Amino acid sequence: MTNLSFQVIEQQGQRVLTTAQLAEVFEADTNTLTVNFHRNKQRFTPDKHFFFLDGAELKEFKGNLTNCNVARNLNRLYLWTEKGAWLHAKSLNTDRAWDAYEKLVDEYYRLKEQAPRPTFEGRIIPQNYVEALDALVQTEKMRLELVAKVEANAPKVKAFDTFIESHGWQTMSEVAKSMDEGRNGTYEALREEGILIKSGTDKNLPLQRYIESGHFMVKEYTFFANGQWMTKGRTMVSPKGVEFIRQILQRRKGVA
């Protein structure tokens, strides 16, 4: 059976074969495949079983270096998907054709599904225009949903901010800066005392028991970074919490 070592060709995010490649694998001539196609054309659906390229679309396709094995003098081109190859195998209906089709599925068409997709900052990189457009639509949809959520919560956020200001709550950063140990020293001391989380995405947030005791609370806020909306927590300290921190730091210095 033919060794599948020919040039990989892709169209709209999936692997395809030219008529010449398909004929080589099926050990048939291209004219046979062409005749079978035209005799059964009603069974073949564009963009499902094949892609037909001509004009500007074909010129752009041939300009893609990934597909450089396609003859430059072609003025029309059929590209066959896995389902299209199945219909051709069915038309030929020989043991050799069916064996070749199974080999195509295992060693050509499906290999792309098994290969890991390249990513950037945890997101899959689009491989073609259609995927890029879909990613853009999904990103914009998420952005609009988050904007709507932020706007819907705006009155609650304002009321919460008013409560914080009227009850003397401060941000952890403000409190840490006001201590003799300074910002970094205060954070380090509270982590060592097991009051703030030491590592991970929640680093420097208070443990739950200190929130329940009324020393701290965590206020979530939303921001836009690296092309996406993100949510983080900001630690707030009550007046009782400020005194609690001061006592912790004094004890560590050996001051009564």
Q: Which of 165, 179, 24, 144 is nearest to 88 (CA)?
A: 24
Between 41 and 124, the more confident residue is: 41
Mean pLDDT, residues 160-173 taken together: 65
- Select from 51, 80, 115 the last residue of a domain: 115
**pLDDT given for residue 255 in this prediction:** 54
Mean pLDDT, residues 224-237 taken together: 77
Note the Cα 108 to chain centre separation in Å.
Answer: 25
Residue 180 reports pLDDT greater than 80: yes
Residue 85 sits in the same domain as residue 179 = no
pLDDT over 70 for what percent of the chain?
78
Residue 110 sits in the same domain as residue 140 = no
Residue 148 sits in the same domain as residue 218 = no
Residue that the structure tokens 């006001």 belong to: 178
* 16 inside domain: yes
Residue 173 sits in the same domain as residue 162 = no
Describe the chain by its helix, strand, coil percentages, rounded to 5.
Answer: 55, 20, 30
**pLDDT given for residue 164 in this prediction:** 47
Structurally, the chain folds into a number of domains equal to 3
Spatial separation of the C-alpha atoms in residues 62 and 54, rounded to whole Å: 10
* 184 inside domain: yes
pLDDT digits (tens, 9 = 90+) for 88-144: 998 888 888 888 888 888 878 776 544 556 666 566 677 676 777 777 788 778 777
Residue 160 reports pLDDT greater than 70: no
**pLDDT given for residue 189 in this prediction:** 92
pLDDT, mean over the chain: 80
Q: How confident is the model at residue 70 (pLDDT cuts 50, 70, 90)?
A: low
Domain residue limits at 137: 119-166
**pLDDT given for residue 112 in this prediction:** 53
* 4 inside domain: no
Spatial separation of the C-alpha atoms in residues 191 and 179, rounded to whole Å: 15
For the question of whether the overall pTM of this predicted structure is more than 0.75, the answer is no
pLDDT digits (tens, 9 = 90+) for 185-215: 999 999 999 999 998 888 889 999 999 988 8
* 66 inside domain: yes
Question: Which of 2-6, 23-27, 208-212, 219-223 bottoms out in mean pLDDT, i.e. has the lowest?
Answer: 2-6
* 1 inside domain: no
Residue 178 sits in the same domain as residue 247 = yes
* 214 inside domain: yes
**pLDDT given for residue 45 in this prediction:** 92
Q: How confident is the model at residue 256 (pLDDT cuts 50, 70, 90)?
A: very low
Residue 197 sits in the same domain as residue 131 = no
Instruction: Give exposure, 124-157, as e/b (b: 16+ Cβ within 10 Å).
Output: eebeeeeeeeeeeeeeeeeeeebeeeeeeeeeee
In the chain, at which residue ranges do the beta strands (DSSP E only) sit?
A: 9-11, 14-18, 50-54, 76-80, 119-120, 123-124, 170-171, 216-225, 228-237
Mean pLDDT, residues 67-91 taken together: 81
* 104 inside domain: yes
Between 110 and 242, the more confident residue is: 242
